[in-house]
Chain A
Amino acid sequence: MFSLAWRGVRFNIGRYVATLVAIMTGVAFFAASGFVADRVISALEGDVDRQYGNVEAAVVVDTSGDASPEAAYRLRIDGDSADAIAALPEVEAVAGDLTGVVAFLDDDGSAVSSEATGRLWIVDDALNTVDIVEGAAPVAAGEIAVDRGLADDENLAVGDSTTVLTSAGPFEATVTGITRFGEADSQDSGGTVSLPAATAFDWLNSGQVEYTALYLRGTVGQTELRDAVAPLAPAGFTAQTGDEFRDDKRVEVGGIGRLLKRALQFFSVLALLVGGFVIYNTFNVIVAQRMRELAVLAAIGATPKQLKRSLRFEGLVIGIIGSALGVLAGFALTFGMIAVLEQVGVALPGSGLEVAPATVIWAMLFGTLITLLSVMLPARQAGRAEPIEALRQAEASTVSVGKVRTIVSVGLVAVGAVGMLIGGGAAVIGISGIVLFVGVIVCGPFIAVAGSALMRPLLRGFGLEGRLAADNTARNPHRTATTSNALLIGVFLVTFVSVAGTSVRDYAVAEINALSTADFVIESTGGTVDDTLIADLQAVQGVEAVTPFRREAVTLNIEGTESSTNLSTGDIDALRAAAGIDLEEGSFDDLGTGTVLLAAGQFDSAAVGSTATFTNSVGESVDLEVVGIIGFTLDSMVTGSITDVATFDGFVGETAPTVAFIKTVSGAQSDTRDEIERITKLRPDIALNEGNQLGRIIGAVFDFIINAVNGLLLMSVVIALIGIVNTLTLSIIERRRELGLLRVMGMVDRRVRRMVRIEAVVIAALGTVSGIVLGTFAGFAMISAIDRLSDADIGISIPPVLIGVVLVVGVGLGLLAALIPAQRSTRLDVLEAISST
């Protein structure tokens, strides 16, 4: 029986081409995304070993506690603690980690390479992450080393002078060396500028001798070293062995790669599932066409079991061949993807291919399994071959839609749709959505019949070809449905993601924009908003007021509930004038020593008169009486709770302002904006945000996600396209006599081909239109469910352009898919066509 199956594959290889291509494409996507993601992961993890390979112990921020990320970000190891650790007999060498944003000043006075990272130069060779490839290490004040990439970009050579912009202002510097980071130019994405201890603290950290982490080499074992250092680690920090540290770091940096891998592979598996429809269709048609052969086998004594097994074995062979070809194609696709990315300027980390055996094995397994599953039903059909079929005339038959299917599918659609519209919980709505989706898939043959009936008047314009094409789509509704369903899945998801995503985006952006009052917000990372900067900004035409204020990241505790927030202080009247700071409760006049205006949001229960406990990053805390509740706005998110200056000084210390609101006169936005931007660019530590910027960023993030998901869904659409090619090609083989007759009767080849094209377009339109309808409905139901279950009021936004594009692309794909079958439809000689059986 196996040799029979093998021969079945060999003699039908023409019919299997599309199936093989479908499996191949899906598996190739899967394998390629694995290869690319593995390369990224291994490159990122490799960086960890390169950067921290010689670290035997590390003192790093303790992330196991519940300190907020922002508080952790501000934690520093003071110089004294660092010295104490360095003095331990177990410690051989210490490297302190300190970074800050730096930039270079261009000849015309604007900032360039503003994303560069300034790093404290590590003197210990083993702990240093970079190598000097030219010149010497920076030692004295005013000396710097730059990485190879920056040197090339900025035309810097050893001995050159340049101006470095830092949070402490511009400094003249001389380049003493060029560095490299392993095989890459730089360890930081925007370039690395190495600074000697003589200047690093002044330029990057307001003169304070502090470190974000310490990396150690010891004279003893890793564990012993860690245990010796641990008691000296300052509050909020923990000591780790080199291995523990590297493991954590690897998870941290590899995380993005793993996320990428999972997302890519999810979409590849989806594409493979769509491929399952194509495979199922092919085998169904093949069984129908081979019924006679199967019946002869049955007549001479093949048992149904043997027939089934023979067909399954064919599926297995095809699955393995297709998957193996797919893995090979995956290699090619990976190189293609990397090349394309490089063309558009995205350099993936790492080099070459990272071929993990797991990726290859999973790809082979998925491809083969899906093929095998898709062949199960057709194989059962083959097993049912009766000897009598051998005597029957094999005709391209017309199949009708069964009653059971009708009832089941209508039921599923109804239950799913109603459930989505009135469901009272996420689970009910989710399950209803799946029920609806399955219902529509099962409903496919129905849609095919109804769709072709609906399109008939439209197609009448194409004359007889249109008429026959419409008939042909309704002729075997199951086959048409399976074909268009493959497209439906992709189109459904594209529309659903677009409709739901656009609606949520529009809502979020509108809500956020409604909350903002200040025109601009500037924030310094590592530096301060000093008087010179304020004066410069005040001088800009169109700026009405610059309102600086002092801010500290704190943990807030009210009646046992903790949250991370900010505590600010400044000129209350000025803040009220510049930004949307208003009280919902209480009075500004009551603000005095020991009191606070609480930012609303996290504490619905907080009321005037209650006590709030604030804790700063070093663990000191203070109890303040709540005298007012600030209404929630974007600006209040920037300030957090507000206290008076004396209280702030007592709790945090006499710090300089790090944040400022800028209010502009109305109507002067564009020029003013450019000027403000020019000034703030000269200070790399200053981030400039427009009042409506958050809205724009959120809008952009949504757009990116919508587009990325839609882009990834293209994979499944490509396979659906192969499905249309497949179905039509097989149908044409089946109907060659009929087509021959039409040509004998006087239908010229051009018209025959047009008939095939119309049929392709009808199938594509069926899938596209039902996908759009279903996707729009699901998007609508999802949004209304969110509205119903929460107090949000999201309006439905249907993106007309995108839906138009989907429709045009869907139908266009139909035309594209028809190219090969249309050509084949008239390839046979007329006589051969009519005499074939």
Chain B
Amino acid sequence: MSTDLGAARAVDAVKTYGKGDAAVHALAGVTVSFPTSRFTAIMGPSGSGKSTLMQCVAGLDRLTTGQTFIGDVELSKLDKTQLTLLRRDRLGFIFQQYNLIPTLTAKENILLPLTLAGREPDQAWFDSIIQTVGLGSRLGNRPSQLSGGQQQRVAVARALVSKPQIVFADEPTGALDSRTGVEILSFMRRMVDEAGQTIVMVTHDPHAASYADNVLFLADGRITDEMQNPTAELVLDRMKKFEV
């Protein structure tokens, strides 16, 4: 894996909605690299373009101009099917709305990316994930029988089970109570430290951002600042500075 360029990056990324006078720049020329085996948080107020940046890098949306890469693959060169397969084989996703398939059991939901790819799970890896997220006895249940926190654990386990190059998380704790949120975040932290997982997380919660190795601050579609080894207080201070 090329560590110079990072696990994923964006070069002069521009995303514009609308045309002419009505044009809105969600991304106004962002160049950024997400380093391998690191936990990066993207922060910013609503409308700053943080979600758009993540979605474009993750191959869920396309840029107006500029380039995004997963490893050394340039996403704009891929068609829809190739993008889908790339997501399946190399990326993991965690959403705010747990987004589980209601007809599948917890275990089936976790294995979904592997099932889609027709791959056999690595049993040892599967077991260790299950143990870490603590779902052992709940594997046979359907999402409707699980609490919000449990559902999100299933979603996290699902994002990790295929050993993706990068996990993208969009407000993963947004719908959880604070205690459950802490558990999920600690778990994500451990995966970076112990398994060298690369994680990119979009959040507006300074406390959540404090679990990351570094934090990118976005405003009006541009990166305005960056912070290494953040704490919740430092991040909150920085955020307040934006507001003023």
Binding site for B on A (CB under 8 A): 395-396, 398, 463-464, 468, 471-472, 475, 737-738, 741-751, 830-831, 834
Quick one: closest B residue to A398, CB to CB? B102
Are the CB atoms of A750 and B102 closer together than 8 Å?
no
Are the CB atoms of B93 and A744 closer together than 8 Å?
yes
Are the CB atoms of A471 and B104 closer together than 8 Å?
yes
Q: Answer yes or no: B220 CB below 8 A from chain A CBs.
A: no
How far does the alpha carbon of A748 sit from the alpha carbon of B89 in the complex, in Å?
12
Q: Answer yes or no: B73 CB below 8 A from chain A CBs.
A: no
Q: Tell me how far the C-beta of B50 lies from the nearest C-beta in chain A, rounded to whole angstroms.
A: 14
Given contacts A830-B60, A831-B55, contact A745 B93 (CB under 8 A): yes
Are the CB atoms of A472 and B84 closer together than 8 Å?
no
How far does the alpha carbon of A508 sit from the alpha carbon of B137 in the complex, in Å?
67
How far does the alpha carbon of A745 sit from the alpha carbon of B60 in the complex, in Å?
10
Q: Answer yes or no: B95 CB below 8 A from chain A CBs.
A: yes
Q: Answer yes or no: B147 CB below 8 A from chain A CBs.
A: no
Partner of A749, one of B60, B81, B144: B81
Partner of A398, one of B61, B103, B112: B103
Q: Tell me how far the C-beta of B1 lies from the nearest C-beta in chain A, rounded to whole angstroms.
A: 20
Are the CB atoms of B117 and A746 closer together than 8 Å?
yes
Q: Tell me how far the C-beta of B63 lies from the nearest C-beta in chain A, rounded to whole angstroms.
A: 13
Quick one: closest B residue to A826, CB to CB? B80
Across the interface, which residues of B come within 8 angstroms of A748, CB to CB? 81, 84-85
Across the interface, which residues of A come within 8 angstroms of B61, CB to CB? 831
How far does the alpha carbon of A517 sit from the alpha carbon of B152 in the complex, in Å?
85
How far does the alpha carbon of A738 sit from the alpha carbon of B101 in the complex, in Å?
6
Max chain B CB contacts within 10 Å: which of A742, A743, A745, A750? A745
Partner of B84, one of A463, A737, A743: A743
Max chain A CB contacts within 10 Å: which of B93, B101, B117? B101
Quick one: closest A residue to B95, CB to CB? A834
Are the CB atoms of A737 and B55 closer together than 8 Å?
no
Are the CB atoms of A468 and B101 closer together than 8 Å?
yes
How far does the alpha carbon of A742 sit from the alpha carbon of B81 in the complex, in Å?
13
Q: Answer yes or no: B44 CB below 8 A from chain A CBs.
A: no
**Besides A396-B102, A742-B116, A749-B84, 18 new A-B residue pairs in contact (Cβ under 8 A), listed by A number:** A398-B102, A398-B103, A464-B112, A464-B115, A464-B116, A468-B101, A468-B104, A471-B103, A471-B104, A741-B101, A744-B87, A744-B93, A745-B88, A746-B84, A746-B116, A747-B116, A748-B81, A748-B85
Are the CB atoms of A742 and B87 closer together than 8 Å?
no
Q: Answer yes or no: B35 CB below 8 A from chain A CBs.
A: no
Quick one: closest B residue to A475, CB to CB? B103
Size band of the interface chain B makes with A: 20 to 34
How far does the alpha carbon of A743 sit from the alpha carbon of B95 in the complex, in Å?
14
Q: Answer yes or no: B118 CB below 8 A from chain A CBs.
A: yes
Binding site for A on B (CB under 8 A): 55, 60-61, 80-81, 84-85, 87-89, 93, 95, 97, 99, 101-104, 112-113, 115-118, 144, 158
Across the interface, which residues of B come within 8 angstroms of A751, CB to CB? 116
Are the CB atoms of A472 and B103 closer together than 8 Å?
yes
Are the CB atoms of A745 and B102 closer together than 8 Å?
no
How far does the alpha carbon of A468 sit from the alpha carbon of B116 in the complex, in Å?
12
How far does the alpha carbon of A741 sit from the alpha carbon of B117 in the complex, in Å?
15
Across the interface, which residues of A come within 8 angstroms of B87, CB to CB? 744-746
Are the CB atoms of A742 and B89 closer together than 8 Å?
no
How far does the alpha carbon of A749 sit from the alpha carbon of B80 in the complex, in Å?
9
Given contacts A463-B118, A464-B116, A834-B95, contact A742 B55 (CB under 8 A): no
Given contacts A468-B103, A475-B103, contact A745 B144 (CB under 8 A): no
How far does the alpha carbon of A747 sit from the alpha carbon of B116 in the complex, in Å?
6
Partner of A745, one of B80, B103, B112: B112
Are the CB atoms of A746 and B113 closer together than 8 Å?
yes
Q: Tell me how far the C-beta of B100 lies from the nearest C-beta in chain A, rounded to whole angstroms.
A: 8
Are the CB atoms of B101 and A395 closer together than 8 Å?
no
Are the CB atoms of A745 and B55 closer together than 8 Å?
no
21 contacting pairs across A/B (C-beta < 8 A): A398-B102, A463-B115, A463-B118, A468-B101, A471-B103, A472-B103, A737-B97, A741-B99, A741-B101, A743-B84, A744-B60, A745-B93, A745-B116, A745-B158, A747-B88, A747-B116, A748-B85, A749-B80, A749-B84, A831-B61, A834-B99
Across the interface, which residues of A come within 8 angstroms of B88, CB to CB? 745-747
Closest 3 pairs (CB-CB, A-B)? A746-B88, A471-B103, A741-B99
How far does the alpha carbon of A362 sit from the alpha carbon of B59 in the complex, in Å?
57
How far does the alpha carbon of A552 sit from the alpha carbon of B103 in the complex, in Å?
79
How far does the alpha carbon of A472 sit from the alpha carbon of B118 in the complex, in Å?
21
Quick one: closest B residue to A469, CB to CB? B103
Across the interface, which residues of A come within 8 angstroms of B85, CB to CB? 746, 748
How far does the alpha carbon of A567 sit from the alpha carbon of B186 in the complex, in Å?
107
Max chain B CB contacts within 10 Å: which of A742, A750, A751? A742
Q: Tell me how far the C-beta of A462 lies from the nearest C-beta in chain B, rounded to whole angstroms.
A: 12
Are the CB atoms of A742 and B60 closer together than 8 Å?
no
How far does the alpha carbon of A831 sit from the alpha carbon of B99 in the complex, in Å?
13
